[in-house]
């Protein structure tokens, strides 16, 4: 498998995925709410932190090409319309820590709000020690699944 590598900066997201947002329409984080639905569809998110790392790869941009998982029209909350999600395996390096994770991509055409720009990749990963906003993180992804330009 051909891989590509990009280094980016960890930035603060909307904090809706983790449940830390002050004005979230959800009772807990979206990842916590979505995890049982993805589990039923064959993707286990339980080994990962129930939130996302937001990685700015500016000036680079990314597109999802051929993801390992795509789940269409997932009705994960009773009060909101279904959404489509894609996931791509990735490998993360931060200082001496290395782990496997997933790029988490809620398709914008089905998403309620809290959009990311094309420079920001959302990553689901195991908890990482001492990672902070502004830190540099290296991401490795399959060129088949994700295009970075």
What CATH number corresponds to the domain at position 65?
A: 2.40.30.30
Q: Whole-prediction pTM value?
A: 0.93
Q: Which residues form the domain of 97?
A: 3-148
Residues 31 and 124: beta-carbon distance below 8 Å? yes
pLDDT category at 113 given cuts 50, 70, 90 is: low
CA distance 38 to 59: 32
**DSSP secondary-structure letter at 130?**
T
Taking 80 as the threshold, does the pLDDT of residue 124 lie above it? yes
Which of 62, 57, 137, 60 lies closest to 101 in space, CA to CA?
137
Question: b/e per residue, 81-108, with b = 16+ CB within 10 A?
Answer: eebbbbbbbbbbebeeeeeebbbbbbee
Domain count across the chain: 1
**Stretch among 2-16, 31-45, 133-147 having the lowest mean pLDDT:** 2-16
Higher pLDDT, residue 14 or 82: 82
Secondary structure letter of residue 109 according to DSSP? G
Question: What is the average per-residue pLDDT within 34-52?
Answer: 96
The DSSP 8-state label assigned to residue 131 in this structure reads -
Please say if the pLDDT value at position 114 is more than 60.
no
């Amino acid at each position: 498998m051909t891989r590509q590598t990009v280094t980016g900066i960890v930035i603060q997201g909307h904090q809706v995925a983790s449940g830390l947002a002050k004005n979230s329409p959800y009772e807990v984080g979206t990842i916590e709410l979505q995890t049982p639905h993805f589990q039923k569809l064959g993707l286990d998110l339980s080994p990962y932190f129930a939130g996302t790392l937001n990685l700015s790869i500016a000036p680079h941009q990314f597109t999802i090409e051929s993801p390992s998982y795509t789940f269409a029209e997932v009705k994960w909350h009773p009060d909101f319309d279904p959404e489509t999600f894609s996931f791509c395996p990735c490998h993360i390096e931060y200082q001496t820590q290395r782990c496997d994770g997933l790029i988490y991509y809620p398709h914008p055409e089905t998403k309620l709000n809290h959009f990311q720009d094309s420079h920001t990749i959302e990553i689901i990963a195991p908890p990482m020690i001492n990672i902070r906003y502004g830190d540099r993180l290296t991401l490795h992804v399959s060129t088949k699944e994700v295009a970075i330009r």
